[in-house]
Chains A and B, each alone.
Chain A
Amino acid sequence: MKIGVFICHCGNNISAAVGVELVARHALRLPGVVCAHTIHHACSEPGQLLIQKCIREKGLNRVVIGACSPRVHEATFQRVLVQAGLNPYLLELANLREQCSWVHEDREAATRKAIDLIDMAVGKVARLQPLLSSKVDVNKRTLVIGGGIAGIQAALDVADSGHEVVLVERTPTIGGNMARMDKVFPTLDCSACILTPKMVELATHPNITLHTYSEVEQVSGFVGNFKVQIRKKARLVDMEKCTGCGACTLKCPIKAPAEFNLGLDKRGAVYIPFPQAVPHIPVIDKSICTYVLKKKCGLCQKICPTDAIAFEQQDEVLEEEFGAIIVATGYELMDWTVYGEYGHGKYKDVITSLQYERILSASGPTGGHIRRPSDGKEPEVIAIIACVGSRDAAHGRPYCSSVCCMYSAKYAMLTREHLPNSRVYIFYMDIRAYSKMYEEFVQRAQEKYGANYVRGRVSKVFERNGRLVLQGADTLLGQPVELEADLVVLAVGITGTASTIALAKKLNISHDEYGFLTESHPKLRPVESSTPGIFIAGACQSPKDIPLTVAQASSAASKVLGLISHDKLETSPLVAEVNIRRCVGCFRCLDVCPFSAIEEQVLRDGSKVARVNPALCQGCGLCSAICPPAAIALSGFTDDQLISQMEGLCSQNPV
């Protein structure tokens, strides 16, 4: 046994709190250790070369590196071993940074702890065995979940490079929230003009299969080999026969609030969400259609010129296989009616930002004329309240929604263009306009469009003589202010969605308490989810504007292309293995495995034992921990190795 120990200074990240020279001198006295060095940056080129030189010259066959977390540089150091001709799994890392120097101030105690960590690593490394990884095929198809601008961009990017894509969208049309918007900052080009061509391109792309009004039901498998069940909900309209003439939508006698217009007007039980919807085919709302509920009416069926209404249609469940998944499920506005001070939603003329988008939009419920919901009159004074449900810890939203400052400025411009005699007031706390051409945009709203910015949150909105009164403050003036307005637009904060959380559970990827999906590393792996092969894009990861969403979608697409450019993937050999002579067939392992990697195996004598599918196993170790007869061992973390590690800790090696 020839063990080499390398202690990293990490600049002064480690050496500031840990006596690295002392640790190295101590390591030299441990059994099996033939050399011990300190290195300023073990991960740098000179650091890597020193480790390789020692392996070759001293004939090392085990390596211990005391540096940062394995999450940061395990792969780096494994490559160093491979380049020096050693099996990469003969390496043990002692985390002297995150778990020692960064969290301790007492130098002496931190040094003692570092010595303990090295004792343990040396104890374990002596028992490590070379491991070999196996290879699995990679399915070249990609699943994109979500048909907003993020999903559309990602799907087009992957499909344009010649690979097959399936896009699943929950609602009856693609387009997402962007389709609801009128004009978009910072250039004020109309959203429809830049989005709808992409929607059409997606629907007609030879490499893309589009499933709207569909949901992902179940996901199994692993990177390169996902199995996905997709439920195509019954539209009750035959998509082959329907020409999208819309006759049925005009005749339907049932009315319900239109989701697309956020309840500002009504739609029929059979409806097309908006004029540019893709596919331009109606859907029947089964919860209100009287024919579905009571077999009465059926008017749509009678007047349909192509006989496309299909009440008999049933949900369809598709089984598909994919190599990679991109999640782009977007965002919602938080439920602002929790704000009693703004009226809990009881004032008709207190509306949300997305509702105002619809009012501004030429295809919206007012045909692009600004009219307030209560009486259809043109408002003279319009107040915008920023940060409703953003930067508000008291309402559980401590984060910034990042887009409201910009669209508030946009509303001021568009409002003044529509109604030149109107007055627009924006109540804000700070203005965050950090991106290219953003600050100039906000300045333009103030200088050229005369937007009145008032710095201070609005404390209360109430009705007086048919007008809405805002009680606010001008903190620059240091004085309370009051404004009578005809229309109040709340810049409501962005939140993750309940359906994204449900999907995250099916995909086994992590999310935060606000329903946003968590990236693998906030700086270095921003589009990777916590599960290999699943990528995230757009506002489902965090509040994001359109430019950033599109950039992230293309980034996720390029990661997918990188993955499926391989014909085979190496799987980690750090997987669980069942000793069938010990297994009693209790299958408690099967219950706890989060990756469905445990299978039943019938032996020749008819008895059933567990078997681990190494392709599915992620090496979490739950099965090994729960197994009553200790029949399951996790490679790289066997009982033998862990006990040896503990013996290292308990050996009281002289310091």
Chain B
Amino acid sequence: MNRTLKLNQVDDQFIKQIEQNSGQKLNNCYQCGKCTAGCPIAHSTEFPPHKIMRMLQLGIKEPVLASATIWLCLSCVTCTARCPKEVDLAHIMDSLRELAIKEGVTQARKQPIKLFEKLFLDAIKQHGKLYEMGTLARFNLLTLQPVKDLELLWPLLKKGKLKFTPESINDLEKLAQIFKSSQS
């Protein structure tokens, strides 16, 4: 990222695509930094949210799609809620994740995050509710780290925060319809 950026080689197509998918106008951002100021994961990433916005304005594609930020984003929507220019940055993050998957930009260190999101959705799809025990067990096994976070198991069980068996909602039929329509 430290070489000179050629402003003439702006990726217009990328800018248009993100604007279209997110419904947001990138130029509306005036780089005040309030999104980064309130972002709970900003400290743990190379490109905090305001910098992602600036890179998008300049059409910088690969580093954005390959960044950890878009996967670390918790979708807490604090950025969107507080943005003075009413830019829905959380929505832009969604669009970036979507595009990253579509374009196959999945570097090794982002794989677990992607996997976790998939397992999370799988559980919802199956039960209509989160099944923590199952999701965590599958995640640990698939990422080849079976004892990860094991020390938390006993305290969580004691407080009744984890259950061994899944619970399901009543109308799983309707849920299936929702998933179906969201994928079309």
Contacts and interface: CB of A to CB of B under 8 A. Distances in A.
Interface of A: 381, 425, 443, 446-447, 450, 452, 454-455, 474, 476-484
A454 B7 contact: yes
B58 A425 contact: no
A446 B57 CA distance: 11
Nearest to B47: A477
Nearest to A446: B27
Contact of A443 (B1, B30, B50, B57): B30
Given A447-B25, A474-B54, A476-B54, A481 B30 contact: no
Given A474-B54, A474-B58, A479 B28 contact: no
B183 interface: no
B182 interface: no
B165 interface: no
B27 A447 contact: yes
Q: Which residue, of A425, A450, A482, has the highest number of chain B Cβ atoms within 10 A?
A: A482
A455 B33 CA distance: 14
Contacts of A443: 30
Interface in B28-49: 28, 30-31
A483 B7 CA distance: 5
A481 B57 CA distance: 14
A482 B6 contact: yes
B8 interface: yes
B107 interface: no
B7 A482 contact: yes
A31 B141 CA distance: 102
B2 interface: yes
Contacts of A482: 4-7
B51 interface: yes
A480 B6 CA distance: 9
Contacts of B31: 455, 476
Interface string B168-183: 0000000000000000
A481 B55 CA distance: 12
Contacts of B7: 425, 452, 454, 481-483
B61 to A, nearest CB: 14
Given A477-B54, A481-B7, A446 B2 contact: no
B8 A483 contact: yes
A477 B7 CA distance: 12
27 contacts: A381-B8, A446-B28, A447-B25, A447-B28, A450-B27, A452-B7, A452-B57, A454-B7, A455-B31, A474-B5, A474-B54, A476-B31, A476-B51, A476-B54, A477-B5, A477-B51, A477-B55, A478-B51, A479-B1, A479-B4, A479-B5, A480-B5, A481-B5, A482-B7, A483-B6, A483-B8, A484-B8
Nearest to B25: A447
A462 to B, nearest CB: 14
Nearest to B6: A482
B57 to A, nearest CB: 8
Interface string B6-28: 11100000000000000001011
Contacts of B8: 381, 483-484
A455 B32 CA distance: 12
Nearest to B33: A476
Given A447-B25, A479-B4, A483-B7, 14 more contacts: A446-B27, A446-B30, A452-B7, A452-B57, A455-B31, A474-B58, A476-B50, A477-B5, A477-B54, A479-B2, A479-B5, A480-B4, A481-B6, A482-B5
A10 B47 CA distance: 54
* Size category of the binding interface on chain B: 10 to 19
A446 B51 CA distance: 18
Nearest to B57: A452
A479 B51 CA distance: 11
Nearest to B7: A483
Nearest to B5: A481
A478 B51 CA distance: 9
A223 B58 CA distance: 60
Contacts of A474: 5, 54, 58
B66 to A, nearest CB: 16
A79 B5 CA distance: 69
A361 to B, nearest CB: 28
Contacts of B27: 446-447, 450
A477 B51 CA distance: 6
A480 B54 CA distance: 14
A474 B51 CA distance: 11
A450 B59 CA distance: 13
Q: Which 4 A-B pairs have the closest CB atoms?
A: A483-B7, A480-B4, A481-B5, A476-B54
Contacts of A483: 6-8
Nearest to A477: B54
B24 to A, nearest CB: 12
A479 B54 CA distance: 12
A482 B10 CA distance: 11
A469 to B, nearest CB: 10
A455 B28 CA distance: 15
Nearest to B2: A479
A381 B50 CA distance: 26
A479 to B, nearest CB: 5
Interface in B55-109: 55, 57-58
Contacts of A447: 25, 27-28
A458 to B, nearest CB: 11
Contacts of B57: 452
A484 B50 CA distance: 26
A333 B55 CA distance: 35
Contacts of A455: 31
B98 to A, nearest CB: 24
A474 B58 CA distance: 10
Contacts of A425: 7
Contact of A477 (B6, B30, B58): B58
Contacts of B25: 447
A415 to B, nearest CB: 16
Given A447-B27, A447-B28, A455-B31, A481 B4 contact: yes
A405 to B, nearest CB: 13
B84 to A, nearest CB: 11
A470 to B, nearest CB: 8
**Which of B5, B28, B30 lies at the interface centre, i.e. has the most chain A CB atoms within 10 A of its CB?**
B5
A403 to B, nearest CB: 20
A454 B4 CA distance: 14
Nearest to B53: A476
Contacts of A446: 27-28, 30
A480 B8 CA distance: 14
A481 B50 CA distance: 18
A454 B2 CA distance: 17
A484 B5 CA distance: 12
A388 to B, nearest CB: 19
Contacts of A452: 7, 57
A425 B27 CA distance: 13
A119 B100 CA distance: 84
A427 to B, nearest CB: 10
A479 B57 CA distance: 14
Contacts of B28: 446-447
Nearest to B12: A423
B10 to A, nearest CB: 8
A459 B126 CA distance: 59
Contacts of B55: 477
Nearest to B4: A480
A520 to B, nearest CB: 39
